[in-house]
Amino acid sequence: MTNTDSLKPAERGFVEFWRAADGHVLNGRDPGLAAARRSAIERFAEVGLPPEKSEAWKYTNIRRLVEAWAGTDPVAEGPDPGPVDGLFLVPGDAWRVVMVNGRFDEARSALAGLPSGVTVASIAEGASSRPEVFARSFGATRPEGADGFVALNTAFAQSGLFVHVPRGTQLGRPIEILFLSGSERRGFVQPRVLFVADEGSSARIVENWRSFGEGAVFTNAVSEFLVARDAAVDHVRIVDEHASSVHVHYLQARQLGSSTFSTVSFVFGGGTVRSDAYLLPDAEHCETHLNGFYFARGSAQVDNHTLVDHARPNCESNELYKGILDGQATGVFNGKVLVRQDAQKTNAYQSNKSVVLSETARMFSKPELEIYADDVKCSHGATTGRLDDDAFFYLRARGIPPAKARLLLLQAFSGDVFETVRDEALRERLLARLEALLYA
């Protein structure tokens, strides 16, 4: 372990908390997990938090935000959230998992009737009950490594969630994971999800992120997805947290041959919401869909970073992010499509569109293409503007009141992202949430 004297205060604080908690709070029975934690804290000490002027954090001063949580115990358990029934989003039949401050709450979860062989457990439990799956999967989604936040999460990941869908198993119902984060004053939570879909399996996952309690919570979450050959995973992620929250999230997905991974994220609420999606179609004939919708108002900031890393030939990716910014909100989109030299015959599309409603809202968009293979079709586009005046006038000329006309146009603008949610009932719930936000 490195000497902590050379570290900056923010990093030093985490390393010291880790040392204090190692061995008792951060126990777990699995030696592999313990080793992964130890090397992660070392890596964190080495790379640290993103430096102030780093390109990846150009518009979000994350170091300042982390410093505001200085001294907050990152292993504290936090208060009880109380009843959770009204918080689920997926109507009808679904398996339900409740995570409280990053810890798997088995008592509140409803997992009866899972097909045999499917594991839904805490990470520590998964590591011991499915050691072979854990060993090949944990931390295996991003070969080149992400920034310090992922290392920090790995070092502190407590309990977390481990889902394993064995070969050929089709999960007929979605799994909704309700992530509740709350504290009395300040909380720092680091939920971790490891999701492994083996060959030929299929699954639908809904992540539902909510706040409770009065305190402000900093979330540093990591969700890893391994999608094996011929598997299909459909993932929806909704962040609807308190305006005082800071939410940093890493989605990392690695796909093998002929698999499909679809993910769509919705940001409806939160103080600062930073999402980092890293998608690696790591074998031929993968299909990747990456979509997102963001709504921000007040002084909220939504920062979406995506990287589709085409490393193999004959894959296809589609990416569409759309957002609406009001008040003094700030939107950031930085999407990169990377096509490596071997990834011939890649088809990759990326688009980012934003509507700015107020004089004081801002949007920073940076769609990037980085291409090293010649036989590819790649394109990207970005537009930012306000609502179309002509269309607005047209609706009003048909007798539609301004607020309703605005809503109609904004719904029309956002529609294609919501369309990517395949579960119709869930889509209706999300559209209703959008309407409530826009009408407010």
Chain positions contacting another protein, by CB under 8 A: 55, 341, 344, 354, 356-359, 361-386
Distance of closest approach, residue 368 Cβ to another protein, in angstroms? 5
Q: Closest CB to another protein among 26 and 329?
A: 329
Q: Which of 433, 62, 419 is nearest to 250 (CA)?
A: 62
Q: Which of 297, 326, 294, 339 is nearest to 430 (CA)?
A: 294
Q: Closest CB to another protein among 27 and 54?
A: 54
Q: Closest CB to another protein among 125 and 309?
A: 309
Q: Closest CB to another protein among 32 and 51?
A: 51
Query: Which two three-digit tokens encode residue 343?
Result: 């990834």
What is the spatial distance between Cα 376 and Cα 10, in angstroms, rounded to a whole number?
44
Distance of closest approach, residue 392 Cβ to another protein, in angstroms? 13
Query: Which two three-digit tokens encode residue 311?
Result: 């490393």
Distance of closest approach, residue 295 Cβ to another protein, in angstroms? 15
Which residues neighbour 114 within 8 Å (Cβ) at sequence distance 6 or greater?
95, 120
What is the spatial distance between Cα 299 and Cα 283, in angstroms, rounded to a whole number?
42
Q: Closest CB to another protein among 88 and 364?
A: 364
State the burial class of residue 295 (Cβ atoms within 10 Å of its Cβ: 0-12, 13-18, 19+): buried
Distance of closest approach, residue 413 Cβ to another protein, in angstroms? 14
What is the spatial distance between Cα 216 and Cα 197, in angstroms, rounded to a whole number?
34
What is the spatial distance between Cα 212 and Cα 88, in angstroms, rounded to a whole number?
14
Phi then psi for 136, rounded to 5 degrees?
-85, -10
Tell how many helices (H) and how many strands (E) occur in the chain: 9, 20
Q: Closest CB to another protein among 170 and 358?
A: 358
Q: Count the Cβ atoms, other than its own, within 10 Å of residue 264.
A: 23
Distance of closest approach, residue 381 Cβ to another protein, in angstroms? 5
Q: Closest CB to another protein among 315 and 421?
A: 315
What is the spatial distance between Cα 174 and Cα 371, in angstroms, rounded to a whole number?
36
Answer yes or no: are the C-beta atoms of 341 and 310 closer than 8 Å: no
Distance of closest approach, residue 51 Cβ to another protein, in angstroms? 13
Answer yes or no: are the C-beta atoms of 145 and 108 closer than 8 Å: no
Distance of closest approach, residue 276 Cβ to another protein, in angstroms? 18
Q: Count the Cβ atoms, other than its own, within 10 Å of residue 149.
A: 23
Distance of closest approach, residue 367 Cβ to another protein, in angstroms? 6
Q: Closest CB to another protein among 371 and 409?
A: 371
